[in-house]
Chains A and B, each alone.
Chain A
Amino acid sequence: MPSLKDLKNRISSVKSTRKITSAMKMVAGSKLRRAQENAESARPYAERMARVLSSLAMSLPKDLGSVPKLLAGTGKQDNVLLIVVTSDRGLCGAFNSSVVRESRRVIRQLEMDGRHVQILCIGRKGRDLLRQEHGKKIIHTVEDMGRKRLSFEDANIINAKVMALFDAGAIDVCQVVYNRFNSVISQVVTVKQLIPFAIETDSGDGRLEPVVGVEFEPNEKVILESLLPRALAVSMYGVLLESAAGEQGARMTAMDNATRNAGDMIDKLTLNYNRSRQAYITNELIEIISGAEAI
């Protein structure tokens, strides 16, 4: 039986925890709004890029020799680069652990197929969680991504690293594991292939216009070659934005739950405290009365 003093201390400590979690929830909420706005404003570019790419792909000569390797692949699938996108900070529910769990599964699968896997971690948490099992495969970690505001430049830097590896022939395939932002309360762990690049030749809603007699300047090949790395950076940027929005959403939900839990706990503790105090008073009264009766 904890003493009254102990109970009082616990109540006040849970109360201050609740204050912290509810503040964190509010901060995550405003950051989430910003992240969503960011993602929103990046969409037009990605859409138009996809359109240009698909019209390029359709007018491309069919012989594979002229298709850039980024699109056609290197003809091998032996070396795989896995990009694991997590957050730098914790306290966001299952956000990081679900990405890491999926990454472990993918790595196991790839290794069973006899592939050689390398890992690029974005975010401290992913590195920390993967280090024990796959420490030797982690070739690089990017930290403090978009501390202030996630910019296209961040995506470009990562992209440059991936491109350098690809050009050097160190990787044949590149996949990214990240949290896709579904809604504020749900993030879906997604594995997306970046290299070889998958062009959507049909956007699904039939909005794609038939392209006839499009001219290219200087020519298809040159444009495709300079467009593809950029398209890659754009999808990388998209992934980072989704993950950033997902992180804030996950944190907001986690902190909301924590705040509610703290509230429940305070209620229970307060009840306990009042009950103990009442019992104490009753006890004292009984003692006084029985003392008086004894005389």
Chain B
Amino acid sequence: MAETFNFELVSPEALQVSKPVKMVSVPGSMGEYSVMAGHAPIITELKPGVIRIYADNEVDVTESLFVAGGFAEVTQTRFTVLAGEAIPVSKLDRAALKAESKDLYAKIDTAISDSDRELLQKQWAVLEAKLQAAA
């Protein structure tokens, strides 16, 4: 049995998760990776995607949360994720997301300035990732 380590998931408005876990996989900007106890210290940027928490062993996912980007920090003793937004995957509503995505797509088409379009496209990318997570 592997050791456990402390995993923390914080969003600006609350401390969402804080408990000992066996393994956590996070969507790093250069690819998804998993962290177990004793991982080398690393700070990474996260892209929108799903965080999977394996609390009891390395096989069963006990919790999965969608994060809209953020940062992950691994130190000798802890693993901290600073998320922009974190929602349990089970609470994502596929139909509502699809409608939202459609609206946003229309908005991108009619966006006037480049900076507006860029912003909307970013939102759209987050939404797409959400949709994928909900599937």
Query: Are A217 and B45 also in contact (CB < 8 A) when A48-B80, A211-B75 are?
Result: yes
Q: Is the CB of B71 within 8 A of A214?
A: no
**Known A215-B42, A217-B44, A218-B45; contact A52-B71, beta-carbon cutoff 8 A:** yes
The CA of A155 and the CA of B12, in the complex, are separated in Å by: 10
- Residue A94 is within 8 A (CB to CB) of chain B in the complex: no
* Closest residue of B by beta carbon distance from A212: B41
Compute how far the CA of A206 lies from the CA of B32 in the bound complex, rounded to whole angstroms.
34
- Contact partner, B43, options A152, A155, A212, A216, Cβ 8 Å: A216
Whether the pair A211, B13 counts as a contact (CB closer than 8 A) is no
CB-CB under 8 A for A45 and B42, given A217-B29, A218-B30: no
Query: DSSP class of A's interface residues: helix, strand, loop or mixed?
Result: helix
A42 to B13, CA, bound (A): 5
Majority DSSP secondary structure for residues of B touching A: strand
Cβ B12 vs Cβ A217 within 8 A: no
Q: Which of A5-13, A137-145, A219-227 contacts B (4 or more CB under 8 A)?
A: A219-227
Query: Contact: A217 with B41, CB < 8 Å?
Result: no
Task: Tell me the complex Cα distance, A217–B29, Å.
Answer: 8
Choice from A44, A209, A218, A230 contacting B10 with Cβ under 8 Å: A44
Q: Does B51 contact A (CB under 8 A)?
A: no
A18 part of interface (Cβ distance < 8 Å) = no
Q: Pick the contact of A48 from B13, B41, B73, B76 — CB < 8 Å?
A: B73
Q: What residues of A have a CB within 8 angstroms of the CB of B44 in the complex?
A: 216-217, 223
Answer yes or no: A41 CB below 8 A from chain B CBs: yes
The reply to whether B13 and A217 form a contact with Cβ atoms under 8 Å apart is: no
B1 neighbours in A (Cβ, 8 Å): none
Chain B, residues 14-27, CB within 8 Å of chain A (1/0): the string is 11000000000000
CA–CA, A230 to B125, complex, Å? 19
Chain B nearest Cβ from A249, distance in angstroms: 21
8 Å CB contact of B42 from A56, A214, A226? A214
Interface flag for B82 (CB, 8 Å): yes
21 chain-A/chain-B pairs, Cβ below 8 angstroms: A41-B14, A42-B12, A42-B13, A44-B10, A45-B12, A45-B14, A48-B73, A48-B80, A49-B82, A52-B71, A52-B80, A52-B82, A55-B43, A215-B40, A217-B42, A217-B43, A217-B44, A218-B29, A222-B45, A227-B71, A230-B84
Q: Is A204 an interface residue (CB 8 A)?
A: no
Interface size class of B (residues with CB under 8 A): 20 to 34
Q: Measuring CB to CB, which residues of chain B are less than 8 angstroms from any residue of chain A?
A: 8, 10-15, 28-30, 40-45, 71, 73, 75-76, 80, 82, 84
Complex interface: chain B residues within 8 A of A218 (CB): 29-30, 45
9 new A-B contacts at CB < 8 Å, known A214-B42, A215-B41, A217-B30? A41-B13, A44-B14, A52-B43, A52-B80, A56-B43, A213-B40, A215-B43, A217-B42, A237-B12
Known: A151-B13, A217-B29. A223 touches B82 (CB 8 A): no
- Report A223 CB to chain B, min CB distance, Å: 5
Given contacts A44-B15, A151-B13, contact A216 B82 (CB under 8 A): no
A211 CA / B40 CA spacing, docked (Å): 11
The 7 A-B pairs at the shortest CB distance, nearest first, are namely A152-B12, A217-B44, A215-B42, A44-B15, A214-B41, A41-B14, A45-B10
B-side contacts of A227, CB under 8 Å: 45, 71
When the two chains form their complex, are residues A152 and B75 in contact, meaning their CB atoms are under 8 A apart? no
